[in-house]
Structure formats: structure tokens, C-alpha cells
């Protein structure tokens, strides 16, 4: 399948300019600008005079190539074999994947709709060989074909000039025979020869003996015909998608308003979703940079700083809608100071998507709740900070203060920490003696009177002495020699005269008493 692309951008009046000698001239325009009278070849100053709202961008082949490569990556949803076929053109090997889309025709229409959604108009040709597909994509849709191909849109009754063209079967020749030979994009020599021979269609060209044709039109043209018919193989280099997701989106008008930014970000997020789907990964963390107007051209000193928004969903996700909601919460709180002209989305952490199988049946029921829960976590984290909205994990460690972990929701259970223990091990830790619900970050030194066995007898605090009754203890804990924070303690649960229960320990190396929490 071959596709040639033109960017639509119909609503904006935009022209691309390039330097021609000493003049800056327009080389391409959008349809809207063309309606205002702007034509290729016009000087930029004249074009501006014709159309006040015209936005002129420098033609930048390197940028076009980048955009094309990104587009190619997104076309990977249709087939793993995508070839960038010169500026503005792609080749897709769809023979092996068409059945997933209910046939080649349906796939071609789906690809066209997909590209249209992204703002590109694609002319698509489907044929058995790359050259034939290219020729079909290039060929004008003639009147006869309108009827044959169903290019006449039955709904609107209008002629669809860009309808996909098909050459069914293994031999593309019959479908191509009726097309004008100009669709082959012959070089100058071949075109002159075809004219002088009085040929009209590709059929006429194919009918001629190859030897004579090679003499008149040159060997490259004959080779092209051979590739067209599949007699000669064509080497193609398929694209390899980049490891790191890093996409930019330039806005045609610099914006500050949140809705406009969200609209633009949606395109990026959808690209991200497609990319994650392709990799079978889920997003843990990404950064979105809002590049303000003039940043690209200004010197470093005067350049306005580009706000960077870190997007860290509470659970690994692919959903563009969820990322968009997250960004919306952020934009509600952070004002965009300068007009933004470019958005850049970079993945900083992704993880393989957990197997969906185990969730198959619960998914439908849980989805609404999961979304509620994720939205709640995200909203809390946006205002309070990620470190203040956490989940609880158990860690297998004998030192009470190391027996748990406050886990940020971003670092999900997908990356199970080495020391984390599951629910089964929780039962085992329950046997280790009662633990207080209220454990203090830092144990506080207390003044304890002890009996002759060394057990706590009374607590001296604020000038008062409170008798203690031993509930449990001692529970001896010696651990941590391996990380330098070793502890050798004897824990006691005691009850005060008021009935309150405290968790005390005797640090056996310092021979000092501490309170580590309360059974609240």
C-alpha cells in the first residue's frame, strides 16, 4: 500500500517560505491562504499584503522529515513494515495484516480516516508491488474509475478525488493499463519518448517490446516497469521506531488559554497511547514541556523559561483521556504566563503492561470504581504533592521502623520492591507480637524506672511518676547490622494507670529507654 500525504490544516492561513536568491518566496500554502490569493512563487511581503492574518513559516526539510518519521511510527498500527518513501510518501506492507482489518479495502479506508483525523489528506493505492501501489496513489481518479471504484460518494453524491485506488490480485497490470503513463512519474527522457511515440496509457507502454523501450526511454524506466510488474524485486528499508518517545507539537497560533492547550495536548496523548499500545507498555511518568513563544529564536539569556509539567498517573496507564484529565487538573492550578507555541511530550518511565487476563472478568465491574479511585488520587496528588498521597507496603524487616514503606502511587506494584512482602507474609509478621497502630517516626527518649529484672516499672514524665503495668514483653529485636543502622532492642507493651498502652523499648547498647508509639 502506498500513500502520499498533504497536510490539511484547512482552517489556518499558513504559508511556507524559502529563500530564492535574495528573495524570500512562498513555496506552499494552505487552502485557506490560497483562497486569500497567496500563491507559490509570490514574495513573502506581497503575500502578507494580500492576506493580513497570514502566518509564514520557514520551509524546513529536516523538520518535515522528523514529522514524517513520527507519522510513520503511528502508521505502525496497521503493519510492522512501514517504509518512508521519499518526502510525503509511505509504503506499507499490508499483505500479512489486512485480514485483521477485514481486508485491504477496509484497511485502506481506515488508514485514510486515521490520517485525516491527524490533519493529513492521504491518497492511497493498494497493489501487489510497491511500484504499482505508488503509481495507483499518484494516478488521477478518472471519470471511468469514479464509477468502477465507487469513488462517487453515495451519501453526498460528490466525487471523492482522493479515494483509495485498488489493483486486486497478484497482477497489477490490468488495473493499471487504463491509467495515463504520467502516473509512472517518468523522468524527462522517458516522458519525451512517450510523447514522441504517441503513447497515452500505461497499457500502451507495457505493450511495447522492452528492448526498443530501453533504447528510447532509458534503462531506469524499464526497470521501473519491471518492478511494477513484480519481475524485479525492490529493496526497501523499513523504519525502526525510536526507543524513546519524544514528540513535539507545534501550535499554529501561540496560546495561553487552557482549553486550547488541552486540545493540542490531546493529540500528543493520543500519539502516546498509540505508541504505548505498540510497545505493550504502560506509562508511569512523562514530562510535558510548554515551550513559550520566542523561546526557539531568543538568546538563552532573554528566553522565557519553559514550564515543565510532570505527569505521573497513580497507576501505570495508556489512556489519553486519563492523561488529559491529569493535565487539566494541573492547568487549573498553574497559570500559563507566556503564550505557548510548542508542546513536547517525553516518556521518562514506562513499564510492561501487566497481563490483562486475570482482570478479564472483573474489568467491566471495576472500571468505573478504578477510574474514580485514580481520579481521587491524582487530584489529591496534584494539590498536596505526590509524596503526601501514598499507599502502604509491608517490608520484611525486623526493625519496626523499617517494616513498611510509603509507596507513591506512581511507582506501582508493577515494580515490586525487592523487600516487599505479600499478604501471606503479613500473617507471619502478625505472629511477631502485637504492633501499635501509631508508630512514631523517631522514638522519643523517656525516663523509666525498672524493676530488678530490668522490666519497666514506672514512667517519669513532666514531673509526674506513673506506674506501669507490663502487658507484653520483652520482645527482643536485633537486626540491621548489614546496613549500618543496626538495632538491639527489647520491646515492652505497658499500660499506664490511666489505661493507655505504650510501646517502649530498651536500647541495649545505649542502655536507654525510648517510646516508639502508642496502641491508640
Binding residues (CB under 8 A) for other proteins: these are 365-366, 369, 372-373, 375-377, 379-380, 383-384, 388-394, 400, 403-404, 406, 413, 423, 426, 429-430, 434-441, 469, 471-472, 495-502, 517-520
- Residue nearer to other proteins on the CB measure, 366 or 483: 366
- Cα–Cα dist 345/246, whole Å: 6
- Cα–Cα dist 52/45, whole Å: 11
Nearest-approach distance from CB 380 to other proteins, in angstroms: 6
Nearest to 374 by CA among 423, 329, 333, 313: 313
- Residue nearer to other proteins on the CB measure, 226 or 496: 496
Nearest-approach distance from CB 276 to other proteins, in angstroms: 24
Nearest to 265 by CA among 249, 244, 282, 284: 249
Nearest-approach distance from CB 467 to other proteins, in angstroms: 11
Nearest-approach distance from CB 384 to other proteins, in angstroms: 6
- Cα–Cα dist 126/112, whole Å: 12
Decide if 436 contacts 503 (C-beta within 8 A): yes
- Residue nearer to other proteins on the CB measure, 237 or 423: 423
- Residue nearer to other proteins on the CB measure, 229 or 439: 439
DSSP label of 307: P
Nearest-approach distance from CB 406 to other proteins, in angstroms: 6
CB neighbours of residue 45 within 10 Å: 11
Decide if 124 contacts 165 (C-beta within 8 A): yes
Nearest-approach distance from CB 365 to other proteins, in angstroms: 6
- Residue nearer to other proteins on the CB measure, 53 or 396: 396
State which H helix or E strand residue 255 sits in.
strand 246-255
Nearest-approach distance from CB 313 to other proteins, in angstroms: 15
Decide if 167 contacts 176 (C-beta within 8 A): yes
- Residue nearer to other proteins on the CB measure, 49 or 434: 434
Nearest-approach distance from CB 426 to other proteins, in angstroms: 4
- Residue nearer to other proteins on the CB measure, 118 or 470: 470
- Cα–Cα dist 65/90, whole Å: 12
Decide if 477 contacts 398 (C-beta within 8 A): yes
First to last CA, the chain: 70
Nearest-approach distance from CB 518 to other proteins, in angstroms: 3
What is the DSSP code string of 9-73? -TTS-EEEEEEETTEEEEEEE-HHHHHTT--TT-BHHHHHHH-TT-EEEE--HHHHHHHHHHHHH
Decide if 99 contacts 63 (C-beta within 8 A): no
303, burial (CB in 10 Å: exposed 0-12, middle 13-18, buried 19+): middle
Q: Apex CA 249: angle with CA 247 and CA 255, to 5°?
A: 145
- Residue nearer to other proteins on the CB measure, 144 or 358: 358
* Cell reading at 307: 514550564
Residue keyed to cell 494541573: 330
- Residue nearer to other proteins on the CB measure, 223 or 328: 328
- Cα–Cα dist 285/315, whole Å: 10
- Residue nearer to other proteins on the CB measure, 323 or 459: 459
- Residue nearer to other proteins on the CB measure, 170 or 498: 498
Decide if 375 contacts 328 (C-beta within 8 A): no
Nearest-approach distance from CB 282 to other proteins, in angstroms: 18
Nearest-approach distance from CB 453 to other proteins, in angstroms: 16
Amino acid at each position: 500500500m502506498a500513500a502520499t500525504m498533504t497536510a490539511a490544516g484547512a482552517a489556518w492561513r499558513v504559508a511556507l517560505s524559502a529563500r530564492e536568491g535574495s528573495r524570500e518566496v512562498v513555496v506552499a500554502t494552505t487552502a485557506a491562504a490560497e483562497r486569500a490569493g497567496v500563491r507559490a512563487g509570490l514574495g513573502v511581503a506581497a503575500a502578507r499584503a494580500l492576506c493580513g492574518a497570514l502566518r509564514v513559516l520557514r520551509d524546513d526539510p529536516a523538520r518535515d522529515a522528523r514529522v514524517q518519521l513520527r507519522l510513520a511510527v503511528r502508521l505502525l498500527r496497521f503493519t510492522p513494515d512501514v517504509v518512508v518513501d521519499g518526502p510525503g510518501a509511505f509504503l506499507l506492507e499490508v499483505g500479512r495484516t489486512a485480514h485483521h482489518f477485514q481486508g485491504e479495502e477496509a484497511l485502506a479506508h481506515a488508514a485514510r480516516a486515521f490520517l485525516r483525523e491527524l490533519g493529513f489528506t492521504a491518497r492511497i493505492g493498494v497493489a501487489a508491488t510497491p511500484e504499482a501501489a505508488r503509481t495507483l496513489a499518484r494516478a488521477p481518479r478518472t471519470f471511468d474509475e469514479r464509477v468502477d471504484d465507487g469513488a462517487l460518494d453515495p451519501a453526498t453524491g460528490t466525487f471523492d478525488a482522493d479515494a483509495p485506488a485498488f489493483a486486486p490480485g497478484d497482477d497489477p497490470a490490468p488495473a493499471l493499463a487504463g491509467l495515463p503513463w504520467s502516473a509512472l512519474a517518468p523522468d524527462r527522457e522517458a516522458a519525451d519518448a512517450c510523447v514522441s511515440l504517441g503513447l497515452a496509457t500505461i497499457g500502451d507502454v507495457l505493450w511495447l517490446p522492452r528492448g526498443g523501450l530501453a533504447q528510447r526511454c532509458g534503462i531506469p524506466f524499464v526497470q521501473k516497469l519491471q518492478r511494477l510488474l513484480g519481475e524485479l524485486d525492490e529493496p526497501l528499508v523499513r523504519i525502526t521506531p525510536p526507543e524513546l518517545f519524544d514528540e513535539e507539537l507545534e501550535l499554529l497560533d501561540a496560546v495561553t488559554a487552557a482549553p486550547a492547550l488541552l486540545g493540542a495536548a490531546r493529540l500528543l496523548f493520543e500519539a502516546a497511547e498509540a505508541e504505548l499500545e505498540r510497545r505493550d507498555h504502560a506509562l508511569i511518568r512523562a514530562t510535558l514541556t510548554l515551550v513559550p513563544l520566542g523561546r526557539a529564536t531568543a538568546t538563552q539569556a532573554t528566553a522565557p523559561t519553559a514550564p515543565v509539567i510532570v505527569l505521573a498517573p497513580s497507576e501505570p496507564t495508556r489512556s489519553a483521556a486519563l492523561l488529559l484529565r491529569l493535565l487539566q487538573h494541573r492547568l487549573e492550578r498553574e497559570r500559563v504566563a507566556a503564550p505557548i507555541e510548542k508542546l513536547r511530550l517525553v516518556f521518562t518511565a514506562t513499564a510492561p503492561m501487566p497481563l490483562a487476563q486475570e482482570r478479564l472478568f472483573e474489568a467491566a465491574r471495576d472500571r468505573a470504581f478504578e477510574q474514580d479511585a485514580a481520579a481521587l488520587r491524582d487530584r489529591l496528588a496534584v494539590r498536596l504533592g505526590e509524596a503526601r498521597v501514598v499507599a502502604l507496603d509491608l517490608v520484611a524487616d525486623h526493625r519496626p521502623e523499617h517494616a513498611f514503606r510509603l509507596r507513591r502511587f506512581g511507582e506501582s506494584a508493577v515494580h515490586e520492591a525487592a523487600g516487599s512482602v505479600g499478604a501471606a507474609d503479613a500473617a507471619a509478621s502478625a505472629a511477631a507480637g502485637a504492633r501499635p497502630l501509631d508508630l512514631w517516626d523517631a522514638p522519643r527518649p523517656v525516663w523509666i524506672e525498672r524493676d530488678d529484672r530490668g522490666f519497666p516499672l514506672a514512667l517519669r514524665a513532666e514531673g509526674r511518676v506513673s506506674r506501669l503495668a507490663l502487658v507484653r514483653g520483652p520482645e527482643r529485636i536485633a537486626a540491621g547490622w548489614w546496613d549500618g543502622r543496626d538495632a538491639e532492642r527489647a520491646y515492652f507493651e505497658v499500660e499506664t494507670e490511666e489505661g493507655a498502652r505504650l510501646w517502649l523499648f530498651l536500647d541495649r547498647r545505649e542502655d536507654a529507654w525510648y517510646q516508639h508509639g502508642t496502641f491508640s
